[in-house]
């Protein structure tokens, strides 16, 4: 079984731009979550999607948004980038139930 | 709401020595508990999890953790570490119904000294 695939692996953007990150979950996994990892704040939950519906949302500004497609692939978008958005963005998928999340390798976003 | 405290940000250990990484959690509801490991420039890998039943859970690479409800702890242990265990370890908690997002601790960097 292929793992969780995130693209791109690395990204450099300028302040004020927007960015879209992509995540392909493990086949059969319908739940996809996004986390932001920074040295200062650690791992923080962004949002979770299940069957194309956002089930849960973390405490991030509205500039952060996401969606999930019918094939369970997910994208997250950050608009009007700020320097503080520089982080490793991790996507995770899971089967229904408390089986633990499988994480992708992440997308490292640098905002300059 | 849940919270997780990892008391040690860095733990240096000599190779083949035992190690314990501490994790305490706080929650008003019953929880599931997890340990994840992160190697440099990689995502998180699930090491082990406690869902219910036996309070002692083991991973395939020699780590174990024990759920202690009275002390709200889920410490990770290994009797003999190897150089390859060098990584950052994260303890995480989720509620066992409804909102199942993971809440992570701040991580413990385990450094193995040859």
pLDDT digits (tens, 9 = 90+) for A48-102: 999 999 988 999 999 999 999 999 999 999 999 999 999 999 999 988 776 778 9
Size of the A and B interface in Cβ pairs below 8 Å = 48
A15-49 burial by CB neighbour count: b if 16+ within 10 A, else e? eeeebebebbbbeebebbbbbbbeeeebbbbbbbb
The reply to whether residue A90 touches residue B44, judged by beta carbons under 8 angstroms, is yes
- Kindly state the tokens that stand for B9: 């940000």
| Rounded-to-10 torsion of CA A87, B5, A66, A33 | 110
Average pLDDT, chain A: 94
**Shortest distance, CA B4 to any CA of chain A (angstroms):** 12
Residue A10 pLDDT > 90: yes
Q: Between A42, A45, A104, which is nearest B43 by CB?
A: A104
Q: Report A:9-68 residues touching B (Cβ under 8 A).
A: 33, 35, 42-43, 45, 48, 56, 58
Kindly indicate the confidence band of residue B1, based on its pLDDT and cuts at 50, 70 and 90. Answer: confident
pLDDT digits (tens, 9 = 90+) for B5-18: 999 999 999 999 99
């Amino acid at each position: 079984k292929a793992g969780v695939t995130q693209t791109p692996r690395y990204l450099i953007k300028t302040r004020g731009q927007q960015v879209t990150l992509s995540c392909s979950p493990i086949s059969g996994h319908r739940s996809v979550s996004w986390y932001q990892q920074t040295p200062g704040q650690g791992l923080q939950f962004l949002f979770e999607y299940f069957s194309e519906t956002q089930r849960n949302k973390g405490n991030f500004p509205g500039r952060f948004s996401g969606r999930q497609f019918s094939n369970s692939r997910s994208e997250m978008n950050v608009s009007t980038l700020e320097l503080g958005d520089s982080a490793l963005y991790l996507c995770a998928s899971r089967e229904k139930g408390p089986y633990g999340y499988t994480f992708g390798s992440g997308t490292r976003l640098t905002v300059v | 709401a849940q919270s997780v405290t990892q008391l040690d940000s860095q733990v240096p250990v000599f190779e083949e020595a035992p190690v314990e990484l501490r994790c305490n959690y706080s929650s008003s509801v019953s929880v599931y508990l997890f340990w994840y490991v992160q190697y440099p420039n990689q995502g998180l890998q699930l090491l082990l999890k406690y869902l219910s039943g036996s309070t002692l859970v083991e991973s395939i690479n020699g780590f174990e953790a024990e759920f202690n409800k009275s002390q709200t702890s889920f410490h990770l242990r290994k009797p003999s570490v190897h150089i390859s265990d060098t990584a950052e370890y994260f303890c995480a908690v989720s509620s066992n119904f409804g909102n199942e997002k993971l809440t992570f601790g701040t991580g413990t960097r385990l450094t193995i000294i040859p």
